[in-house]
Amino acid sequence: MSVDNNITKARQLGQSIWLDSISRDMLRSGELKKLVEKGVTGVTSNPSIFEKAIAESSTYDEALQGYSSDGASVETVFERLAVDDIRDASDVLRPAYDAASGKDGFVSIEVSPRLAFDANGTIEEARRLWATIDRPNVMIKVPGTPEGMPAIRTLISDGINVNVTLLFSINAYRDAANAYIQGVRDYMSAGKGSPMRIASVASFFVSRVDTAVDKQLGADHALAGKAGIANARVAYGEFKQLFDITLGSGNFHPLATTGAQVQRPLWASTSVKNPKFPDTMYVDELMGPQTVNTLPGATLDALIDHGTIENRLDEEIAGAKAHMEAIAAAGVSIDKITDELLAAGVKAFADSYDSLLSKLAEKLGKLSK
């Protein structure tokens, strides 16, 4: 594997670069394998990504006939399709997983967005997906809603890898991190063995915060365009405190001595929405140790071409807190914005899921004629 590119340079600094996309075309053509050879060490998916892949390709048509041959519901047909893609992508990433001793090389699949406010339903579906896919380098995505937090704790205590998604606020990030720590503790207390293969990331969304804050501030305001990065840097400061084992104290330290992994922050929603900003802004400014950045294809290409690889997290936390305080002083409630973004994010994924099922039903109807 070449070390002379920005993906592998980021990994040397401590940040894993994941791809925020999946499709059967990408798997069949070898495109994903080539990206892994360049240093990509993970894949994330969601209903919107699958909707795009299915709607824009005829690749799935033949398989869809097999998936639906027993009269299965549209929901079941989609799950069969998604499970196959996730399983195949996991196999492509398996060398990265093995090379990282189970600390990288993951592929994420989301529970139904309809379960975002149903803890028991989330636990049941996550367990079923985990068992069905049957790959150690899969992560089950669980929304960071209040109802999602006990589900995260339970799933981690089961030894199931979890990607906590749709995190916008510092409080929600802290809750997700504590749910992970408590889940690992429960796993240990139950005598299930070493927790070193249990992995989790906390997906903290970035660009949507800027869009919402700038709408209130005004695009020309001196504070505009910086809230998303500042909010993420504050979350990184929380991560360093919660998982700090250098001082030999804190909730995580006893677990770390058993080989437990930290729950890494993952920067999501990292494509730039404002054309005035550099296209690698949410990569360059959030580069730092023990983190992940998941990028859509265009942003990944931009990173490879002209990204800046240097630690921009450790030295910027104090300034980030000051920036968020200045935003509050300007009359913008970040708590209100992040609450609204969570609700909108859940709705957007649910709407994409419903749209996906509708398009799938239409496609199945045409194929049956």
User: What is the dotted CATH code of the domain comprising 6-367?
Assistant: 3.20.20.70
Radius of gyration over every alpha carbon of the chain, rounded to an integer in angstroms: 20
Please, is 26 exposed, middle or buried when counting C-beta atoms within 10 Å of its C-beta (0-12, 13-18, 19+)? buried
Q: Is the pLDDT of residue 1 over 50?
A: no
**Which pLDDT does position 248 carry in this prediction?**
60
Residues designated catalytic: 141
Angle between helices 74-99 and 119-133 (to 10 degrees): 60
Q: What is the C-alpha to C-alpha distance for residues 48 and 363, in angstroms, rounded to an integer?
A: 17
Q: What is the C-alpha to C-alpha distance for residues 135 and 90, in angstroms, rounded to an integer?
A: 7
Model confidence pLDDT, tens digit, residues 207-248: 999 999 999 999 889 999 999 999 999 999 999 999 986 666
Residue 45's region, left for phi above 0, alpha for psi from -120 to 50, else beta, is beta
Model confidence pLDDT, tens digit, residues 266-318: 999 999 988 889 999 999 999 999 999 999 999 999 999 999 999 999 878 99
Model confidence pLDDT, tens digit, residues 56-83: 788 998 899 999 999 999 999 999 999 9
Give the DSSP H/E element, type plus range, for residue 295: strand 291-295
Please, is 102 exposed, middle or buried when counting C-beta atoms within 10 Å of its C-beta (0-12, 13-18, 19+)? middle
What's the whole-number mean pLDDT along residues 176-182? 97
Share of the chain above pLDDT 90, in %: 87
Closest to 48 (Cα-Cα) out of 141, 127, 184: 141
Cβ within 8 Å of residue 27, ≥6 positions away: 85, 88, 89, 92
